[in-house]
Amino acid sequence: MEIVSRYFPDLTTRQLEQLTALEEVYRVWNDRINVISRKDIDQLGVRHVLHSLAIAEVCRFRAGARVLDVGTGGGFPGIPLAILFPEARFTLVDSIGKKIRVVEEVARAVGLRNVTALHARVETIPGRFDFVVSRAVTRMKPFLE
């Protein structure tokens, strides 16, 4: 995660520990449940964590903000963003149960208390959110609908 700290030099020791722990935890879970392409797992820091954190270059989530991650898959971009913004509340949603299990286990393993993982279709999620994020779920027009 050295590359992440180059782009985000103000990370706390705790955040660096959590981000570093992601690599081992995702490797273990990826061997059980393929949530990240096997050819991409060696590029986890750049292709998944750093790309997820790129959202923070244009948007800062304030304390208490409610953020919905639609089609989170294995937890991207939600898990890295939850590490970066520990005072915001993240709801990570995916319709595939085994992926949500990975999200729950990764969040637990790195000590995230601001993440809720839901096995559901986003259309069924009640409530309002301050922000909605996603990575590679669908084309923009259907996503906005």
For the chain, which domains are there?
2-144 (3.40.50.150)
Q: Is the pLDDT of residue 5 over 80?
A: yes
Quote the DSSP letter at residue 25. H
Do residues 74 and 101 lie in contact, with contact meaning Cβ atoms separated by under 8 Å? no
pLDDT of residue 39: 76
Helical spans, DSSP H, in the chain? 2-7, 13-32, 51-53, 78-84, 97-110, 140-144
pLDDT value of position 135: 82
Could you read off the pLDDT of 40-77 as tens digits, one per residue? 778 788 888 999 999 999 999 999 999 999 999 999 99
Distance of CA 30 to the CA centre of its chain: 15
Using 50, 70 and 90 to split pLDDT, how confident is the model at 142?
low
What's the DSSP call for residue 138? Answer: S
36 has pLDDT over 90? no
Indicate the average pLDDT of the chain.
91
| Burial call 17-31: b when 16+ CB within 10 Å, e when fewer | ebbebbbebbeebbe
Q: Could you tell me if 73 and 80 are in contact, meaning their C-beta atoms sit under 8 angstroms apart? A: no
Query: What pLDDT, in 10s, does the model give residues 71-89?
Result: 999 999 999 999 999 999 9
Residue 39 burial (10 A CB sphere; 0-12, 13-18, 19+): exposed
> Quick one: pLDDT at residue 114?
98
* pLDDT score at 138: 65
Percent of the chain with pLDDT over 90: 72
pTM of the predicted model as reported, rounded to 2 decimal places = 0.92
